[in-house]
């Protein structure tokens, strides 16, 4: 959803400017600036989310099973020694 918002924002703001002010020398400058800032924000958001998801997925791969077993064993993260895994 955030990705769609940045794409929409980078297209909507220049369009809004053109609608109210028409095509002029300043419009092309504003369009380029807003589009570049929107594109930069889009790429930065994607890379940040991708990095966060990678480390979160790595955390779940390493500790996820132990945490889930701990929940089922009543909160003991080491598990029940009498239980056959």
Number of structural domains the chain divides into: 1
Domain range for 67 is: 2-72
CA-atom Rg of the chain in angstroms: 24
Nearest residue to 56 (alpha-carbon basis) of 67, 46, 64, 45: 64
Confirm whether 82 is domain-assigned.
no
Structure confidence by residue, pLDDT tens digits, 4-39: 666 666 666 666 666 555 555 565 676 777 777 777
pLDDT at 35: 72
The pair of structure tokens assigned to 51 is 């990095």
Contact 37, 7 (CB under 8 A): no
For the whole model, what pTM was predicted? 0.33
Confirm whether 84 is domain-assigned.
no
């924000």: which residue's tokens? 41
Structure confidence by residue, pLDDT tens digits, 70-79: 555 555 555 5
pLDDT at 27: 59
């Amino acid at each position: 959803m955030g990705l769609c918002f940045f794409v929409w924002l980078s297209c909507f703001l220049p369009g809004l400017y053109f609608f109210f002010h028409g095509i002029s020398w300043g419009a092309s400058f504003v369009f380029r600036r807003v589009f570049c800032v929107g594109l930069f924000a889009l790429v930065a958001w994607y890379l940040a989310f991708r990095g966060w998801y990678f480390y979160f997925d790595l955390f779940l791969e390493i500790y996820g099973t132990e945490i889930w077993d701990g929940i089922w064993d009543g909160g003991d993260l080491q598990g029940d020694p009498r239980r056959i895994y």
